[in-house]
A and B are shown apart, each in its own frame.
Chain A
Amino acid sequence: MTTPTAAAPPSLSADALCFTLNGELERPQSWAPTTTLLSYLRATGRTGSKEGCAEGDCGACAVAIADNSAEGPIFRATNSCILLLGSLHGRAVLTVEGLTQAGEAAHPAQAAMVAALGSQCGYCTPGFVMSLVEATYRPTLAAPGWRREDQLAGNLCRCTGYRPIREALDAVAGSRPADRFAAALCSPAPAAALHVVRDGERFDQPATLDEALALRAADPAARVVAGATDLGLEVTLKGRRWPALLSLEAIAALRGAWVEGQTLVVGATTRLADLEDATEHSIPALHRMLRYFGARAIKSRGTIGGNLCTASPIGDLAPVMLALGAELVAARVSGTRSIPADDFWTGYRSTALTPDELLTHIRVPLPGPRAHQAAFKLSRRRELDISTVAAAFHLELDASGRVERARLAYGGMGPRPLRARGAEDALVGATFDESSVRAAAAALEAELRPLSDHRGSASYRMRVAKNLLLGFLLERQKDGLRAGAAALDLRHTGTLALDAAPGARP
């Protein structure tokens, strides 16, 4: 019996791709920098992982990667369809085929799915099983709660209606059996340095920031990639290839979040799932946005820097950074500089970074005693969707309840994430109440010009942008919500948790 050891392969060199697949060393011979794990698996006969969409939106291709996290070592369920093979160098991957060896009983996650009738057509099932495997070994899932609810958000099933799959989840979540998988989890191997040229295409995955900056300076045209949750779609949907890719996967120094004084410092390649954990109590508004940012499988790969640097007009974290007054730290060989969030997004999908710079850290001020913050994401579907409107608000009130300072930021309301300065002006100096919200809403109408598209009409976006300001006021009036997202009902109605009960504190 082989064990899916999570430790680094013994003979790891930086010039030949090598990773552990279901406990065996895998040394791919035929691959390109844009080859995805899913296409590699299926081309080599591991057809248990399925392609349902090739854009990270259905989870049928999910595999598990042993990794460290804020809650300890875990298997991260990950969409293999948009995972670059090269980024796995040195790591340990588990696919559905690796869960049961000949003569072995089914893994508890598999057995639970069978018992609950969690599979009908079976095509999405291997992906669900891998999400359930992650759940099985996550210590924080032992009790019901939002983390358990979030576990399945990245897997689509068209047959069952999910009830039986949730039952299977409840049966295994946080159970952490002392089996060979748990044993293999003790010290997950990180990604390792890899520098290769394949058919004229270069793939550089340095292990230090200095190396990365040198590579950036040497070839500013190289495409930078972190979690590949955005770049992966360019590969699978548009067939894009690049002469050179610069992967930040193996730079440990860019990962992690810590508090310095009154600031949370976040490494640029910190995974969104880890940031979600790190901000639950320190910056509830940021945490709340991350809860609804996307599916866990995406949050387990996607990075804060990636989200900010793609400079999407919606990019859910950008409005939060604007409202919270974050600073973005960029580095180049010759030094570093700090860019206020207000100056970072310069237009449609463009940023203030120069071609030889890398975003290294984000500095987010912790909310002060007079700060009132909220962040909202409105999308067609609550889970696993792109925003129609994203909004983040920061107010500082004086003792009498008057607004001293206001930062209101929106995504989806223009060509880039932006501040609503007219609405801010309408609030500053006024008491934060329905009358000042009305004035601010009128200012929004004058200053924002949202587009109509398949996610929503301009009229809908504008009404929602205004109503969210009112929702911010109403939430503030409702006791219990000031503690932030953790205090939300598990399944509150959509974006807002509303209604000031009669007689509630004004």
Chain B
Amino acid sequence: MNAPRTPAADPLHQPAPHESAHLHVRGSALYVDDLPDPPGCLIARAVTSPLAHGRLRALDLRAARATPGVIRVLTAADIPGHNAIGPVVQDEPVLAADLLSFVGQPFALILATSLEAADAAAALVVAEIDPLPAILSIAEALDAGSFLTAPHTICRGAPGAAIDEAPLRVEGSLATGGQDHFYLETQAALVLLEESGSFRVLSSTQHPSEVQREVAGVLGLPSAMVSCEVPRLGGGFGGKESQASGTACLAALGAWATGRPVRMRLRRGEDMRQTGKRHPFWARYRAGFSAEGDLLGLEVELWSDGGATLDLSGAVMDRALFHIDNACFVPALRFVGQVCRTNLPSNTAFRGFGGPQGVAVMQAVLDHAAEVHGFEPLALLRRNLYGGPGRDRAPYGQQVQNNHLHTIIDKLAADADYAGRCAAAAAFNAQSPHRKRGVALHPVKFGISFTKSFLNQAGALVLLYTDGSAQLNHGGTEMGQGLHTKLAAVLAHELGLDPAAVRVMRTSTEKVPNTSPTAASSGTDLNGAAVQDACQTLRARLTPLAATLLGCPVERVRYGGGGVYDAETGARVTHKTLFSKAWMERISLAATGYYATPGIAYDADQGQGTPFYYYAYGAAIAEVELCGLTGEHRLRRVDILHDAGNPLVPTIDVGQVEGAFAQGLGWLTTEELRWDGAGRLLTAGPSTYKIPTAGDLPLALHVALLEGAENPGVVGGSKAVGEPPFMHALAVVSALRRAVAAFGNPGAQVQLRLPATGEALLDAVDAARGGPLL
């Protein structure tokens, strides 16, 4: 924030550290639970259902209320407004009144002066619950006909006939597991009372506008009486898109009922038990291929476990269906998807939003076909990629434009020596009875836009001060992804400011209203364009004044290098001079900006439309080594080539690619959610739920961004990069399948379930070699 002494370089497209890194490393970056206690602040904790399904018959709260330090114990009856929240359909009670739908569902709220007092009181709550039969898996839901949505169908041509008549066929099923977000900062909110009965909610949320709307609804207030602010998030990954609202609403209810500020932060076990996760999916597929390996037809049925309420499950299923094709053109197809209702916490957004579960199906189909019909996997993939005449329409009719798949795959396969390393792995395997290696390439094509088209809008508010500094407000939230870093670079670029003169403010519904969640990888595309729009407004006001100050025509005014200058003479004025002169001239130094993505629409009834503004592409090659005695494996090397357009801040984008890969790796290998037969989560902490550690990532992890991939129509020619690289981790699954296959005879399908834990891999190896070793 110091005035620049030397003209600063344009920060756009330049490497840069994270804008808050200097605070992170000092421990001075403030998260919601780091904010100091306001006077009189109470702690809230929920009392939750011990049963997966039941009817709450009676509740005795006398002992809990009598506990020292307890101020109030609230139930559904105390809620002044609507006891129903939800991002699409409001089908989720804040406190269950009668029906309990999953283990961990809150039905009472304790407000106390300390967490210890709240815990003591919670143990004294007596709830009489009549148990009801519970549905705890997709299989049980299918048996019971328990669904949250109607089937969504995407269809082209006559796939049944195409498959039946195909020379080669594969048929099978694939189950992909859930995944806990395991953001290091659990769900948290702090609610302050302000004058006239209004509330200020500080929330760790990806969607402050939704928190504002839900809190207002629960308290029976107009939205204008509730503000939501987001200091920053200690990780979100989708888990705080819709599900930050529950914690915020409970804290707000407590503040309303007691007239005191209330803090609520879920402990790790509470967070893991009470909140939803990535959707487990089950897929059945049937595919037909020509003798040469051309995919002729594909039928896929998808079911997901939506949990107890709808949440975002419909849109997650839509995106899964939109991504079954992944990088491959499918001439004839029928994809059907339906969300199951179970008695588990409501599953929700998680990086990729169903896309990974869809992409995994095409991978399973191709791997299966390669294994049983003897195709070289990369050759099979290349035959079926999008591209060439008549091979550029996605299943839902959208044209696959600016297709970089061939460029990326060719370059990656050459640079990482795919062929040479496959041969080396085969040679290693021939002399190694108990360890086998596998090498595989996996492509990604990922559609960018919220598939609910109305969400593709954003706003910004730029405030300039007479000393030449600027505050940037926008509708997105910073959760580590570097959004603030990128948008500060956009603002500095547009107005020629030194990035040090730009301060990005905490996200607030008071600055930018009616925002969309920071999700769907869209944060930079949408909010960046809104910032650009605000800057254009400011430039339109300031440029005539600058021209006067510089003594040149407006066409020659340029913004850059920490000042404003005449493109012909190089004469400069500082921002301080320009902004203070504008103030004297009574020219407004504040502007809003707005953006709505053009040209996208989707008709779910027809299964046709243009749901995406564009596609992001990439590919990964993974090499693994698998131990046939224990099922353990080691990632030897990973190479990723990813298309991030012309990256706004390349160092940030590389971090997104690496981090997404690691998270995908966890989903596919070490992270396994286990419930007992009564719907209680057994893996509710890091001692039992294992996200990757530093040692799980390969020492040789090579990430490169595709060069010369300018993306027209997006801020700075960039591309969304949050989610697409998550799916690069699927390369590890194909590599593992190849290593498993090396334990057996050629031509057999690898029987590997996901996640590919040591046990799953040893089972697969034992199946491949026809039984246990000993």
Contact = CB atoms under 8 A, between A and B. Distances in A.
Interface of A: 45, 47-55, 57-58, 60, 95-97, 99-100, 106, 109-111, 113-115, 117-126, 129, 149, 152-153, 155-166, 237, 239, 378, 380-386, 388, 437-438, 441-442, 453-457, 460, 463-464, 466-471, 474, 491-496, 498-499, 501-502
B701 interface: yes
Contacts of B116: 239
Given A237-B269, A383-B694, A495-B632, A161 B661 contact: yes
B18 interface: yes
A498 B269 CA distance: 38
B184 A121 contact: yes
B21 A158 contact: no
B21 A48 contact: no
Closest 7 CB pairs of A and B: A48-B27, A494-B632, A121-B480, A123-B234, A122-B24, A120-B480, A161-B662
A51 B22 CA distance: 20
A422 to B, nearest CB: 14
27 contacts: A96-B26, A110-B26, A114-B25, A115-B17, A117-B21, A119-B24, A119-B25, A121-B183, A126-B27, A156-B182, A161-B663, A161-B697, A163-B697, A164-B658, A380-B757, A381-B670, A383-B696, A438-B774, A454-B688, A463-B766, A466-B774, A467-B774, A468-B629, A493-B626, A495-B627, A495-B630, A499-B435
B480 A383 contact: no
Contacts of A460: 631, 758-759, 762-763
Contacts of B301: none
B269 to A, nearest CB: 7
B662 A470 contact: no
B30 interface: yes
Contact of B18 (A47, A120, A153, A470): A120
Contacts of A123: 31, 183-185, 234-235
Interface of B: 17-18, 20-31, 33-34, 36, 116, 119, 181-185, 232-237, 267-269, 431-435, 479-482, 625-627, 629-634, 651-652, 654-655, 658-663, 670, 672, 674, 682-683, 685-688, 690-697, 699, 701, 757-759, 762-763, 766, 772-774
A55 B686 contact: yes
Contact of A117 (B119, B268, B626, B655): B655
A122 B20 contact: yes
Task: Name the prevailing secondary structure of the B interface residues.
Answer: loop
Most chain B CB within 10 A, of A60, A96, A157, A239, is at: A157
Contacts of B29: 122
A111 to B, nearest CB: 8
B27 A456 contact: no
A484 B33 CA distance: 47
Contacts of B763: 460
Contacts of A463: 762, 766, 772-774
Contacts of B184: 50, 52, 58, 60, 121, 123-124, 156-158
Contact of A158 (B33, B629, B663, B694): B663
B693 A493 contact: no
Contacts of A437: 774
Contacts of A492: 634
Nearest to A494: B632
B18 A117 contact: yes
Contacts of B625: 493
A500 to B, nearest CB: 8
Given A122-B21, A441-B774, A493 B632 contact: yes
B662 A47 contact: no
A165 to B, nearest CB: 7
A381 B268 contact: no
Contacts of B185: 50, 52, 121, 123
B16 to A, nearest CB: 9
Contacts of A159: 235, 480, 655, 659
Contacts of A47: 27, 30, 33-34
- The listed residue with most A CB atoms (<10 A of its CB), out of B435, B482, B652, is B435
Given A156-B686, A457-B759, 12 more contacts: A47-B34, A50-B31, A52-B268, A54-B268, A110-B25, A117-B21, A161-B655, A162-B694, A382-B696, A463-B762, A464-B762, A494-B633
B26 A106 contact: yes
A43 B529 CA distance: 42
Contacts of B269: 237
Contacts of B694: 149, 152-153, 155, 157, 162, 165-166, 383
A384 B696 CA distance: 11
Contacts of A129: 25, 27
A382 B480 contact: no
A338 B327 CA distance: 68
Contacts of B660: 161
Contacts, number: 274
Contact of B232 (A50, A122, A384): A122
Q: Pick from B631, B695, B699, B774 the residue with the most CB of A within 10 Å.
A: B774
Contacts of B682: 453-454
Nearest to A471: B629
A493 B27 CA distance: 36
B637 to A, nearest CB: 11
Contacts of A153: 693-695
Given A123-B184, A123-B234, A160-B655, A470 B481 contact: no
A272 to B, nearest CB: 17
Contacts of B692: 162, 381
Contacts of B658: 160-161, 163-164
B662 A160 contact: yes
A198 to B, nearest CB: 14
A45 B36 contact: yes
Contacts of A110: 22, 25-26
Given A106-B26, A110-B25, A496 B674 contact: no
Contact of A501 (B20, B26, B431): B431
A120 B482 contact: yes
B686 A53 contact: yes
A323 to B, nearest CB: 19
A348 to B, nearest CB: 19
Contact of B480 (A122, A156, A162, A164): A122
B652 to A, nearest CB: 7
B670 A158 contact: no
A31 to B, nearest CB: 13
Contact of A120 (B31, B34, B36, B659): B659
A111 B757 CA distance: 37
A501 B431 CA distance: 7
B296 to A, nearest CB: 38
Nearest to B233: A121
B24 A381 contact: no
A324 B419 CA distance: 48
B26 A57 contact: no
With most chain B CB atoms within 10 A of its CB, the pick from A52, A60, A163, A469 is: A163
B683 to A, nearest CB: 6
A454 B674 contact: yes
A352 B693 CA distance: 37
Nearest to A95: B27
Contact of A378 (B479, B630, B634, B672): B630
Given A110-B25, A161-B662, A460-B759, A117 B699 contact: no
Contact of B479 (A52, A97, A121, A152): A121
A112 to B, nearest CB: 9
Nearest to B479: A121
B146 to A, nearest CB: 25
Contacts of B435: 493, 498-499
A212 B661 CA distance: 52
B685 A53 contact: yes
B267 A54 contact: yes
A111 B766 CA distance: 49
Contacts of A57: 685-687
B693 A381 contact: yes
Contacts of A50: 31, 184-185, 234
